[in-house]
Amino acid sequence: MVDCLLAHAFVDDDGAFGNPVLVVIEPDGGGLPQERRQALADRLGIPAVAFVRSAPARRTEIAIHGSYGLPIRFGGHPVLGTLEALHHRGHTVEELVPEAGPVACRRDEQGICWLTAPATWSKPWRHLRMGSAAEIEALTGLPDGEDFTQVWAWTDEAAGEVRARLWAPRIGKGEDEACGSASMLLTLRHGRPLRVLHGRGSVIRTAPAGDGLVELGGRCVVRPADEGVTTEVERVYAVAARG
């Protein structure tokens, strides 16, 4: 049987905010082809759907699809959310393998999920520094002329504290509540650990790991998926099983 869980990555210390990913653990031998996975992700409208393609183990293969018509080679919040969902099901995972390649993963003693990957696997996000966090708070969209951009400002430069928001209108993506991959690129640019307050209140942690690698971390929680989401996922896999 197909199993699906809704995980939120980069929640704050109270478990609020965060970016959702639906984690679909496919039945053995019952996976969907890529075009059906994408069609399902489009219908569900969740920012990301991570399909667990192999039986959960220390090294687990996944396929990530966005809700805007495109597969995702690598994404911070889908990978971390998948790690937490599999932990919730009792699985210890050390490596998740999306399309981009193997990603080292761990869950520390505080319950924070971490991954280590090349920052260049991220989409080519732009970064626009603004004068203050207040300017960022006041935005209702990107400044004129910007697209695919993470706006950011220091709130405490000495401590590596950042305020950030992100939009990508050209791919039909509105504001991203918590973009780990853009924050990885920002970390590579500054060469230092960052704590990013993102979107409405999500918290992203990063640290350089050498040779272009960045460690990305965040608290994650698993919540029940809507009944309608679960029903649609089960329907799609039932149709596929019938051929």
> Among candidates 98, 129, 102, 100, which has minimal Cα distance to 116?
102
Q: How far apart are the C-alpha atoms of 203 and 178, rounded to whole Å?
A: 8
Domain residue ranges in the chain? 3-115+220-242, 121-219
Q: How far apart are the C-alpha atoms of 78 and 48, rounded to whole Å?
A: 6
CATH architecture assigned to 3-115+220-242 = Roll (3.10)
- Per-residue confidence (pLDDT) for residue 167, from 0 to 100: 96
Which parts of the chain sit beneath pLDDT 70?
A: none
pTM for this one? 0.96
Residue matched to tokens 């924070």: 112
- Per-residue confidence (pLDDT) for residue 76, from 0 to 100: 97
The SS3 call for residue 116 is strand
Q: How far apart are the C-alpha atoms of 170 and 48, rounded to whole Å?
A: 17
- Per-residue confidence (pLDDT) for residue 193, from 0 to 100: 98
Q: How far apart are the C-alpha atoms of 71 and 44, rounded to whole Å?
A: 14
The SS3 call for residue 22 is strand
Query: At the topology level of CATH, where does 121-219 sit?
Result: Diaminopimelate Epimerase; Chain A, domain 1 (3.10.310)
